[in-house]
Structure 1
Amino acid sequence: MDIETLNGVEKMKVNIGISEDHREKIAAGLSKVLADSYLLYLKTHNYHWNVTGELFHQLHEQFEEQYSELAEAIDEIAERIRALGFRAPGTFKEFNEIASIGEDTDRPKALDMVKRLTEANEQVIRTAREALEPAKAADDEATIDLLTERLTVHSKTAWMLRSHLEE
């Protein structure tokens, strides 16, 4: 058994066929995806609670589907970071420091919510694409698969949201 001591704590080394340097870069990219996903989750849940107007029912249901899916995805992303041997960020402060998605400072109307969620989903797509590079470089199929799934989900979500904005 290969044991290392870090800050006086013994732990078993991660030996999954990916170097520590690669695992660290992958975990850093995944942490950004996690932060963006979490802030998107909060934004979507907020909009679910607060949407009003003639599109209320449709958007209320759509936002619920989206934040429910995000809740599961957030857990999977964090667990992948842990499987790589690193601590997953888990505080709002940590997320805010590394996220590309910001909080709302106002109370948007329904179609502004849709526009902002479209933009936020597209941001998660860009963040996931950046995170793919170190995973590809390390032949980390598990992370590649996870990120590919996130790209698929967020692309479809952005398309569906964007459709509300077209005439």
Structure 2
Amino acid sequence: MRTTLTVTLGAAAMALGGCENNKIDVGMPIANAMTATAAIRTATGATVGRATAMDVAGGIRYTIDVTGLPPGTHGAHIHMTGRCDAPDFATAGGHWNPTGAKHGTMNPMGQHDGDLPNLIIGTGGRGTLGITVPGQTMAGLLDADGAAIVIHAGPDDLMTDPSGNSGGRIACGVFTPN
């Protein structure tokens, strides 16, 4: 009886361990992943950085690397239209929000797909951000009218709809597939 119980428990543990390996590990790289990049420019046309979007297991991994922007905390969002016409980048439209959610990770009503954490720019003018957003797809990002990355003048409060009170748009880039 004791041997049977030990073997049964051992088999159950092995089965559970096998189940663990079948989980989707969100954020893990995938073979032949689709990627898109955006050259981030100011209203004067100066290139200040680059954003990359990469298909990963269960979502999209975004990386942003900028230099020459004002020091401080800045809202960074994926906007629903792949246009960045100066001077105010209004052609990028609102935040990418295919589900009609409210704005911000701290909003009890949910968040837009385009809501990213704040981008911190150091005193030397450089800032980087990397985040994996679960549930997103490159097909959704690169739909018929594309998408843009927008950097705002001020910090996103992560709650106020529709834009987190993050101020004007100071830099923008259109995602194009690689």
Structure with the higher helix share, 1 or 2 = 1
- TM-score, with length taken from structure 2: 0.25
Structure with the higher strand share, 1 or 2 = 2
Rg larger in 1 or in 2?
Answer: 2
- TM-score, with length taken from structure 1: 0.26
